[in-house]
Amino acid sequence: MGRIALLIDRSYIDTQSCYMELPIHLANNGFKVDLYMPFSTNNHQPFFQNQAIRVLPFPDSAFQKAEYWSKILYARDRKYSAIIGTPVRGVWIAYKTAFLQRIPFYYFADELLEHLIKDKPAPEKNRLMRQNYLANKKSAASIVLGEERYTRQKEQNRIDYPHEHIVIPNSQSGAAEKLRSNYFRDVFHIEDRKPILLFAGTLGWILAGRIYEETKGYSDRDYHLIFQSRTVGMMGNDTHPFIKLSTIPIPSSMMNYAVSSADIGLVLYDRESPHETNNGITAGKIGTYLKNGLPLIAGSAENLRVFEEQGIGNFWDGKTEFDEVACRALKSLKNNQANIPGYYRTHLQYEVFFSKFLSHLRKSIH
């Protein structure tokens, strides 16, 4: 079938379904896959059962760059049928590799350009914008996480030319299913059966900080609140009087089991932040919560109101006291749970959307 290269310039691949599912589905459909990624001690290196997937170092250092290009030019096992890259560095290397090997290249829009280059000096920012524009224009198509995000990509990448895009959500394959699990109850020795409200992700988001401060005054409630994060130090190092903080990194192979032990998932993206608003609707935590049967508390970005409208969660305006929206979510818990399988199948189930990309890829190769 051929070999596909993925140049993903992210060390946290193990934490996001959009990265993990792509090589798995390519390999399951007969391709050999080389996944190039930066290695980091702060993140788990991804593990794949399919031996057709190789994990290789992203060409960062001078030695890695020399090794990469020499093998692209001369090694038989680095001759690819197609190549996929993430902005900004991944797409540029992928574009140049595709040019040398005369193969199709796909622009994998996991992040928006504006966020990736916002802190760069002006000369470097201009160079990266030019490279990104050329790479996106020369790609066979863009792989995007959602239609709304693609609208922003078109603006930021100045897509003023005919261009195809294919939506593949940031979520897992298979039907939504809540596993039998006591993971967080075991970790925190929770003996009662009060529902667990879970926030899984970085504590750098604005509303996560708001909840962290507000709940310092909480005593006993009809629920437990757990923050699963490796960034607890951002909020200070003291023990929180109400929130249970878990800093144990959970590998992707364990994530469904852990999340299934909770009852409601928190999706916290502030409406005042363009980056949070753009990120919110395609956040990996949405797919993970819903895959494991957890209704959502989502807000305050307006585009997250859709989950209440679809009957799978409750919207939080970010101003109402958190306890009020938590109690409201508990009252609608069973009704929201019942609507999740149908919503997940229609809007998020990975393989349903991957099939369109696979068809496009096979036509591009041949």
Q: Give phi and psi for 325, each to the nearest 5.
A: -70, -30
Q: Give phi and psi for 292, each to the nearest 5.
A: -105, 20
Q: Where in the chain is the domain with CATH 3.40.50.2000?
A: 3-172+349-365, 183-347
Among the ranges given (120-129, 215-224, 235-244, 271-280), the one the predictor scored with the smallest mean pLDDT: 235-244
pLDDT at 229: 81
Amino acid at 207: L
Sequence-ordered list of residues with C-beta below 8 angstroms from that of 317, at least 6 positions apart, any chain: 299, 300
pLDDT tens digits, one per residue of 252-297? 889 999 999 999 999 999 998 888 888 888 999 999 999 999 999 9
d(CA 140, CA 126): 24
Q: 192 exposed, middle or buried (CB, 10 Å; 0-12, 13-18, 19+)?
A: exposed
d(CA 290, CA 311): 12
pLDDT at 278: 81
d(CA 343, CA 295): 11
Q: Are 4 and 25 in contact (CB under 8 A)?
A: no
pLDDT tens digits, one per residue of 174-203? 999 999 999 999 999 999 999 999 999 877
Rg (CA), the chain: 21
- 274 vs 363, which has greater pLDDT? 363
- Is pLDDT at 65 greater than 80 in this prediction? yes
- Is pLDDT at 347 greater than 90 in this prediction? yes
Residue tagged 């607890």 (tokens)? 232
Distances in Å between the Cα of 289 and the Cα atoms of 177, 198, 292, 325, 340 are 10, 9, 5, 18, 10
Provide mean pLDDT across the span 144-171.
Answer: 94
- Is pLDDT at 238 greater than 70 in this prediction? no
pLDDT-derived band at 233, boundaries 50, 70, 90: low
Provide mean pLDDT across the span 326-349.
Answer: 97
Q: Give the rounded percent of residues in the chain with a pLDDT score beyond 70.
A: 98
Q: If you average pLDDT over every residue of the chain, what do you get?
A: 93
pLDDT tens digits, one per residue of 286-333? 999 999 999 999 989 999 999 999 999 999 999 999 999 999 999 999
| Token representation of residue 357 | 């990309």
Amino acid at 267: V
Among the ranges given (21-30, 146-155, 242-251), the one the predictor scored with the smallest mean pLDDT: 242-251
| Token representation of residue 24 | 């798995």
d(CA 315, CA 81): 45
pLDDT at 273: 85
- Is pLDDT at 235 greater than 70 in this prediction? no
pLDDT at 237: 59
Domain 183-347, CATH class in plain words = alpha beta
d(CA 172, CA 350): 5
- Pairing of the two strands 82-85 and 53-57: unpaired
pLDDT at 209: 87
Q: Are 321 and 297 in contact (CB under 8 A)?
A: no
| Token representation of residue 209 | 């900080």
pTM over 0.85: yes
d(CA 227, CA 229): 6
pLDDT at 276: 83
Task: Name the CATH architecture for the domain at 3-172+349-365.
Answer: 3-Layer(aba) Sandwich (3.40)
Write out the E strands in 58-159: 82-85, 105-109, 141-144
Query: What letter does residue 312 receive in the DSSP assignment?
Result: S
